[in-house]
Amino acid sequence: MSGPFSPEVVEAVRRHMDEDHRDDSLLIVRSLGGVPQATAATMSGLDEAGAVFLAATDEGEVTVRVPWSEPIAERAQIRAEVVRMYHEACAALGVEPRAAGEH
């Protein structure tokens, strides 16, 4: 699962999300991913259609795919789509998003 993105790009994005934006992944999974009971989430991959997360719940771990707003093919589009997801998740959950420079 990587589509137009090399394994190195997927790994770099996954690592960045898991090290710097784990809380963002949890918000995305709880709202856009439809797993409100998630207690933790990590990004496990991505492709041109969306991002994939592993979510921890009291019942165990589940895989959650969250689609991009449209298919993507450029690395820069990944960041834009993740930021969009984060803002949509914050709005859906009533969470105040970070300022633009804090991403």
Residue 70 lies in a domain: yes
Confidence of residue 101 (pLDDT cuts 50, 70, 90): low
**pLDDT score, position 46:** 96
Q: How far apart are CA 40 and CA 3, in angstroms?
A: 26
Task: Give the CATH number, domain containing residue 62.
Answer: 3.20.180.10
Residue 74 in contact with residue 61, Cβ under 8 Å? Answer: no
Residue 2 in this model has a pLDDT that exceeds 60: no
Structure tokens at 23: 């809380």
Residue 93 in this model has a pLDDT that exceeds 90: yes
For the purposes of burial, counting CB atoms within 10 Å of the CB of 91, is it exposed (0-12), middle (13-18) or buried (19 or more)? exposed
Question: Phi/psi class of residue 34: alpha, beta or left (left: φ > 0; alpha: ψ in -120 to 50)?
Answer: left
pLDDT in tens, 3-60: 789 999 999 999 999 999 999 999 999 999 999 999 999 999 999 999 999 999 999 9
Number of domains in the chain: 1
Residue 47 lies in a domain: yes
Residue 66 lies in a domain: yes
Full-model pTM = 0.91
Residue 1 in this model has a pLDDT that exceeds 80: no
Range of the domain at 46: 7-96
